[in-house]
Structures are given as structure tokens and as C-alpha cells.
């Protein structure tokens, strides 16, 4: 695959050349009636890699997954798996011949079959080598793999909780030993504690098996923790693709920054690689413009420190157990006040309110003056006029 320079940071576009990934998507578009859902999507996933496609509802995530699975035809573009085109202008490989496992959001179990029979349905060759005993053993292994007791094999789907049904669906998909696994929000029905444990276990199983995996989710933390590549979708396009650390710490624009997690956005003045704002001078790598900018920091970059150079007064706290969200009104920064941008707008500083996280609620009570220090770099975006 030939990579071309893209104005979108971290986004890889592909020219018409031999695919390099296990899964390659080139210029894929899809509409339903007069409504465009996907608008020229490009994505490459290496063999054995895990990619999370994350975005708000209606952004096109599930539609893209269904195109990869073979449940829908793209209107334009090409989808290659293992170097062979499975969907294109003159080529089409049906879903059952793509060696793809698919777990839908609702599980889609067969209600008339037991849990064990549902899982066994995915086994190649009804009995596998070794007959019924080997099949029963394999079903038990698959249930344990998704954190279910093998004794549940005798139950029917309606006797399980929604989360248990979803894990049975995942076990059934794993039974086929697919080369490509597609997961459409498979953990959404689980409670918080079990979601983390199951996600970690599933990620480990898929990685050890070397199965290329695509996870679709609207949960940002799930995407960042599960995958080695994150693709952010908005309005039918992939706006940024990269490893989780890069997309979180260096988002391509403000909407992406705010979607991926809490963000502190401040007016700032950019000179060289230093942005001056209400929090002082913050280094910025490769700023897009000079002069007036919007500076983005993650809340965890702003630390409470007795010797911090920036002061502020606590307005409000929200206690969440292991951490407390602290709203702070910052003191004036005379360095920034009165600056004039190229468009003639005057800049004010101070009085800006930010929200940070802190572990000790007792030192951040409303009315308390705190001193702050910023750790790491900020990200600058052109101003929104």
C-alpha cells in the first residue's frame, strides 16, 4: 500500500496499490436512499492487529462493520481481506466465505437452542475430531474463555441476562476460529466491573490467537484500552487514525479532543512553540498557526502543587470516590491580557474556569485557594471565529 500525505494528523490514505494490511478499505462510500452514511472511508489494519472504531451514534460505525462482514454492498470503493478483494466494483464475496466472525450488539442467539448448542453451531464440522466428547470439551473451553461457567451450556438464552447472552454470542463467533473478528459494542450490556474484566480477557484471547479484530464502540475509554489502533469517525468519515496515545494526547481538532475525553480549552497566544494562557506558558509541538489559538490540555496534566506558579480559587467539587472533579476559577494572567490578534480581536485573561481531577477531596474545598502546575505539552487549534 502507498501512503499519501494527509492534512489530517494520523490519518492514512491509500493509493491504488497492492494492499499491505490484513484488512484494507479504500474510498468506501455508502448511502441509504438519499442519505449518505459513509463518505470515502480509508483504513488499513495489520494482521493480528486490533482497531477500535469510535464515534457518536449515527456516525456510520456499524454500517462500516456490516460492509466488512459482507451484510451490505458498498456504493463505491473497495474492501480487501488478505490481499483479495471481497467487495468492489466488479467483485463480491458473500459473508459466509469471508472467514469473518461477527458479534452483533444484541447477540442474536438462536432462542430454540441451548447455550451449548448455540456455541457448537459455530464449530467447523458439527462434531470436530473426536466426536461429541471433543465438542463438549471445546464448548466448555469457549464458555470459560468468555467468563461463563460451563454448566450454563444446558440453559436456554432466555434464562440468561443480557450480558451473559452477549458473551455466549462472542463464544459462538470464536468457535469458528475466524481470521477477522468484528465486534459491534459487545460489552455494552455488561456492568462496569464485569465489562472491564471481560474486555481484558477477550482482548487477550484474540491477541493470543492472532485474530485481526475490529471493535465498534461509542465508549472512548473502551476504545483506548482495547485497541492498538483507534479510528475516530464523525459524519461518515474517519477524521483521525493512530495509536491510542497519539489520538488522545494529540487530537486533530477540538471536536475530536472533546469526544475522546475531558478537555480543558483555553484562549491562548502562540509565539513560536510557546502558548501563553491563563495557566502560563505551555509548550506546543508543531503549532498550526501563530497568534491567537485555542489551547487544549487534558485535566490530568494540571496538578495541584504547593509551589505551583498559577493560582485559582475552588468553585465546586464533585466526588467520585477514587477522584474528585474540581472546578477552579483562575487568577488573571497579565502576560496575555490585552493581546490583539490578526483579526483585531482583543484578548482577555484571568477569570477563566477550568475543571481538573484530584485524588484528595479534603484539600480542594470550595473557597480554597490552590496553586497549580502544568505537566507536559498542550495542543493548539486555530481559533473558532
CA distances to 55, 171, 190, 286, 297 from 283, rounded to whole Å, are: 29, 48, 41, 10, 11
> Is the pLDDT score of 333 beyond 70?
no
Each residue's pLDDT tens digit, 186-243: 887 677 777 787 788 788 878 888 899 999 998 999 999 999 999 999 999 999 999 9
Cell of 227: 485497541
Give the Cα separation of 294 and 381 in Å (integer). 5
Residue with cell 459473508: 95
Poorest-pLDDT segment among 198-207, 241-250, 365-374:
198-207
Quick one: 77 and 117 in the same domain?
Answer: yes
Measured at the CA of 69, the angle between CA 21 and CA 165, to 5 degrees, comes to 120
The parent domain of residue 64 ranges over 3-249
Do 140 and 283 fall within a single domain?
no
Write down the pLDDT at residue 235.
93
Q: What is the pLDDT of residue 343?
A: 38
Would 254 be classed as within a structural domain?
A: no
Residues 328, 367: Cα–Cα separation, whole Å: 9
Query: Looking at 225, 249, 273, which one is the last position of a domain?
Result: 249
**Statement to judge: residues 243 and 343 lie in one domain:** no
Residues 245 and 98 in one domain: yes
pLDDT of residue 348: 45
Range with lowest mean pLDDT among 18-32, 86-100, 174-188, 344-358: 344-358
pLDDT for the residue 335: 55
What average pLDDT does the segment 108-133 reach?
Answer: 78
Among residues 215, 249, 283, the one where a domain terminates is 249
Q: What separation in angstroms does the CA of 307 have from each of 64, 242, 272, 329, 373?
A: 51, 36, 27, 18, 8
The mean pLDDT of 160-176, rounded to a whole number, is 84
**188 and 312 fall within a common domain:** no
Single out the residue in 249, 270, 302 at which a domain terminates. 249
pLDDT above 70 covers a percentage of the chain that reads 87
Asked, for residue 255, whether it belongs to a domain, the answer is: no
* 273 shares a domain with 131: no
Q: Is residue 257 part of a domain?
A: no
Q: Is 78 part of a structural domain of the chain?
A: yes
Answer yes or no: do 206 and 273 share one domain: no
CATH number assigned to the domain comprising residue 128: 3.40.50.300
How many domains does the chain divide into?
A: 2
Residue 210: what pLDDT? 86
Do 126 and 271 have their domain in common?
no
CA neighbor of 259 nearest in space, from 283, 278, 233:
233
Q: Are residues 82 and 202 in the same domain?
A: yes
Amino acid at each position: 500500500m502507498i501512503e499519501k500525505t494527509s492534512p489530517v494528523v494520523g490519518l492514512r490514505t491509500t493509493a491504488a496499490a497492492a494492499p499491505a494490511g490484513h484488512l484494507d478499505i479504500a474510498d468506501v462510500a455508502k448511502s441509504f436512499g438519499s442519505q449518505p452514511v459513509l463518505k470515502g472511508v480509508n483504513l488499513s489494519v495489520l494482521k493480528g492487529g486490533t482497531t477500535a472504531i469510535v464515534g457518536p451514534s449515527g456516525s456510520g460505525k456499524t454500517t462500516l462493520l456490516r460492509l466488512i462482514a459482507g451484510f451490505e454492498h458498498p456504493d463505491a470503493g473497495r474492501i480487501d481481506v488478505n490481499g483479495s478483494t471481497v467487495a468492489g466494483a466488479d467483485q463480491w464475496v458473500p459473508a459466509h466465505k469471508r472467514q469473518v466472525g461477527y458479534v452483533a450488539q444484541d447477540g442474536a442467539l438462536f432462542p430454540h437452542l441451548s447455550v451449548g448448542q448455540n456455541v457448537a453451531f459455530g464449530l467447523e464440522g458439527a462434531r470436530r475430531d473426536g466426536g461429541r466428547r471433543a465438542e463438549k470439551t471445546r464448548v466448555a473451553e469457549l464458555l470459560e474463555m468468555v467468563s461463563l461457567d460451563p454448566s450454563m451450556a444446558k440453559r436456554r438464552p432466555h434464562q440468561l441476562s443480557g450480558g451473559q447472552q452477549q458473551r455466549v454470542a462472542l463464544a459462538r463467533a470464536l468457535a469458528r476460529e475466524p481470521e477477522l473478528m468484528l465486534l459491534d459494542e459487545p460489552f455494552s450490556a455488561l456492568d462496569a466491573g464485569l465489562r472491564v474484566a471481560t474486555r481484558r480477557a477477550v482482548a487477550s484471547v484474540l491477541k493470543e490467537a492472532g485474530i485481526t479484530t475490529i471493535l465498534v464502540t461509542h465508549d472512548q475509554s473502551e476504545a483506548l484500552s482495547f485497541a492498538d489502533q483507534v479510528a475516530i469517525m464523525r459524519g461518515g468519515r474517519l477524521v483521525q487514525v493512530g495509536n491510542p496515545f497519539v489520538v488522545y494526547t494529540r487530537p486533530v481538532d477540538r471536536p475530536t479532543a472533546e469526544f475522546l475525553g475531558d478537555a480543558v480549552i483555553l484562549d491562548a497566544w502562540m509565539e513560536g512553540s510557546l502558548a501563553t494562557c491563563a495557566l502560563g506558558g505551555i509548550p506546543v509541538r508543531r503549532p498550526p498557526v501563530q497568534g491567537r489559538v485555542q489551547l487544549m490540555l487534558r485535566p490530568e496534566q494540571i496538578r495541584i502543587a504547593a509551589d505551583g506558579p498559577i493560582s485559582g480559587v475552588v468553585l465546586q467539587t464533585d466526588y467520585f470516590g477514587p477522584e474528585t472533579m474540581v472546578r477552579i476559577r483562575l487568577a488573571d494572567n497579565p502576560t496575555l491580557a490585552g493581546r490583539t490578534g490578526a483579526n483585531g480581536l482583543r484578548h482577555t485573561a484571568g477569570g477563566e474556569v477550568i475543571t481538573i481531577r484530584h485524588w484528595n477531596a479534603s484539600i480542594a474545598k470550595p473557597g480554597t485557594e490552590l496553586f497549580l502546575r502544568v505537566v507536559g505539552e498542550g495542543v493548539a487549534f486555530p481559533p473558532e471565529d
